Structures are given as C-alpha cells and as structure tokens.
C-alpha cells in the first residue's frame, strides 16, 4: 500500500508554467514507475489536452463535487503507463458559482478525492489549479498535503509569492492545519538575464531551501509539445526542457518520498527506471541549460 502525496500546483498569476509543470512532472514521475494521477481543475483544460485527452462532457471532477458520480468513474488512463487523469471540461467553469452556494464547499475537493487517496492506488496526485485565488483554489488547498508554486523570475515575483503565501496561511489556519508550502520552482528561466539572477537571489534569500535547486529553462520544444498532446519529457527526451523537468522530478521525489521510496534501499530506488538513464541529472547542470535544445 502506498502513502499517497497530494500536491496542488498553484499560482494566482496566469501563464507562469503551472500546467506545463504538472504535465511534465507527472510524465517524469510515471517514467520512474511512480503511479500518478493528474487532476485538472482548470476549465481551460490545458493539462487534459497536454496529456493527449479530449474534453468530454460529464467526465471531470465536477459531477463528483456535486455528488452525482463516483470519483473512480472519472479517472481516465493516458497512453502512457502509470499516468492517469481526471480531465477538465467546460462545466468546471460553473463550479465556482455552484459550489459557493453549498455549505461546506471548502471540503468538497478533499471529500471527492478521499476515496482515491485511501485506495493507495497512486503515489502522487497532482492538482493543476486555475490562475486565481478563488473558490476552486481554496478547496484545492484544503485537500492537499502541500503546494508547489511555479514562478517566473521577473519583476514583482516576490509580490505574487507573498499573495499566495498568505492564502496558504489562511487555509492552514482555517481548513487544513497540515498544509505545507512544499516548494517554489523557477520556470522559463533565461539564464543570461541579470534580472533573472537578482530575482532568484531575492526569492532564495526569503524562502531558503523551499526553493528548488533545479530550474526549468525556457525552451521552444516545451511550448510546442501541448499542441501535440504529448508531454515534452516523452516527445523530445533530449531537449533542454525535458532534461530540466526530469532533474526536477528527482528533486521532487527526494523532497516528497512515498512509503515505497522510504522502504526501498537507495541503490534499488535509483535503479527502478523504465527509461534509459538510471542516474539523476544534477540540478546544477539543469540550471545551466541554455535557451534552446
């Protein structure tokens, strides 16, 4: 039986790489034989499409939140082993309004995912949150063990972080005392920009070891992959973006061990890949990745 970790990937700012991080972290974890469930909570359904699934009316967390369907009925397999999705659909856009009218909406995602967590079927459940501090994100934060925040190293990054950190504090005090800030990961890093280095220093100075050593480089292959419905980690394993996400997945697994990882000797744990490379890439190498593949 696994100890399932549930992690929300959240940032109220749009376009910072939340969905790209969910899709490629999930892909990289699945290729390390971790069993992963992605929950697409954004009506834009970009994670659903990025994992090669279509939007299908009635197949999302929405009917589960309303008590009309069992969660097991909306979990969809992808083309890849160990990688499953609860897709999104346009109806999820109505969830904010409809949920807010129901007493106890704060616990709705936690209740909906409870049976999946208890089943022990997955090592990781990753929630792709919409870009807002609204009802869906609050209910997501109430349901998870920790929050992973993707950010871009740009002007006012710290202001955005302060906002989401405050939301995490509020949810911890009121709804989910065990909620942790699991980590912050820099995405779309252009390693030559001075502003990038300054912002990264400032964020590391403030949040210390909460900030992942691995950074994800800006890489054109990453932005091309969604239109093909294939995570870049599978589409172009040799690209810089893919290398970044694979290195990030190693660091993520080390910071978020499942019971499976804890009970396994390190030598065996390092050799359980179904991909070709058994060694973790070093975070420092990944951080040095240049702009293009």
Applying CB under 6 A, which residues contact ligand ATP? Answer: 14-20, 42, 46, 131, 187-188, 216, 218-219, 222-223, 226, 241
**CA–CA separation, 211 and 73 (whole Å):** 37
**CA–CA separation, 93 and 255 (whole Å):** 33
Query: Which entry of ligand ATP, Mg ion, none binds 216, CB below 5 to 8 A by partner kind?
Result: ligand ATP
Query: Which entry of Mg ion, ligand ATP, none binds 16, CB below 5 to 8 A by partner kind?
Result: ligand ATP
Stretch that binds Mg ion, among 11-19, 59-67, 190-198, 200-208 (CB under 5 A): 11-19
**CA–CA separation, 43 and 86 (whole Å):** 12
Residues in the chain, overall count: 293
One of 4, 19, 24, 48 touching Mg ion (CB under 5 A): 19
CB-nearer residue toward ligand ATP: 43 or 117:
43
Query: Which entry of Mg ion, ligand ATP, none binds 184, CB below 5 to 8 A by partner kind?
Result: none
CB of 215 to ligand ATP, least distance (A): 10
CB of 132 to ligand ATP, least distance (A): 9
CB of 233 to ligand ATP, least distance (A): 12
| Cα–Cα distance list, 42 to 7, 90, 160, 175, 208 (Å) | 15, 9, 20, 22, 30
Backbone angles phi, psi at 150, to 5 degrees: -80, 135
What's the first-to-final CA gap in the chain, in angstroms? Answer: 39
Residue 127, beta-bridge partner list: 8, 39
CB of 37 to ligand ATP, least distance (A): 18
Contact 53, 101 (CB under 8 A): no
CB of 228 to ligand ATP, least distance (A): 11
> Sign (positive/negative) of CA torsion 18, 232, 186, 142?
positive
Of 27, 11, 47, nearest in space to 185 by CA: 11
One of 18, 55, 218, 240 touching Mg ion (CB under 5 A): 18
Query: Which entry of Mg ion, ligand ATP, none binds 237, CB below 5 to 8 A by partner kind?
Result: none
Query: Which entry of Mg ion, ligand ATP, none binds 183, CB below 5 to 8 A by partner kind?
Result: none
Do the bridges between strand 124-128 and strand 5-9 make them parallel or antiparallel, or are there none, so unpaired?
parallel
CB-nearer residue toward Mg ion: 18 or 240:
18
> Sign (positive/negative) of CA torsion 224, 155, 153, 209?
negative
CB-nearer residue toward ligand ATP: 183 or 241:
241
Residues near Mg ion, by CB under 5 A: 18-19, 46
């Amino acid at each position: 039986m696994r100890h399932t970790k549930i992690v929300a990937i959240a940032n109220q700012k749009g376009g910072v790489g939340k969905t790209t991080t969910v899709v490629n972290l999930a892909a990289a974890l699945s290729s390390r034989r971790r069993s992963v469930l992605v929950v697409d909570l954004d009506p834009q359904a970009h994670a659903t499409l990025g994992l090669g699934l279509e939007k299908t009316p009635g197949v999302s967390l929405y009917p589960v939140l309303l008590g009309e369907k069992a969660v097991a009925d909306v979990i969809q397999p992808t083309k890849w082993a160990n990688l499953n999705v609860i897709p999104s659909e346009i109806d999820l856009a109505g969830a904010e309004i409809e949920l807010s009218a129901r007493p106890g909406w704060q616990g709705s995602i936690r209740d909906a995912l409870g049976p999946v967590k208890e089943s022990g079927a997955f090592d990781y459940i990753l929630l792709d949150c919409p870009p807002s501090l609204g009802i869906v994100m609050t209910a997501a934060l109430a349901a998870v063990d920790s929050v992973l925040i993707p950010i871009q190293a740009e002007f006012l990054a710290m202001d955005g972080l302060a906002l989401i950190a405050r939301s995490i504090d509020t949810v911890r005090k009121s709804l989910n005392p065990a909620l942790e800030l699991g980590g912050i990961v820099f995405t779309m890093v252009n390693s030559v920009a001075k502003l990038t280095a300054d912002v990264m220093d400032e964020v590391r100075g403030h949040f210390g070891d909460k900030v992942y050593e691995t950074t994800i480089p800006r890489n054109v292959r990453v932005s091309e992959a969604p239109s093909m419905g294939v995570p870049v980690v599978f589409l172009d394993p040799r690209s810089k973006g893919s290398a970044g996400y694979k290195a990030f997945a190693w660091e993520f697994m080390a910071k978020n061990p499942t019971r499976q990882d804890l009970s396994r000797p390190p030598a065996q744990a390092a050799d359980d890949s179904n991909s070709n490379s058994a060694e973790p890439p070093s975070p420092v190498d990944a951080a040095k990745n240049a702009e293009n593949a």
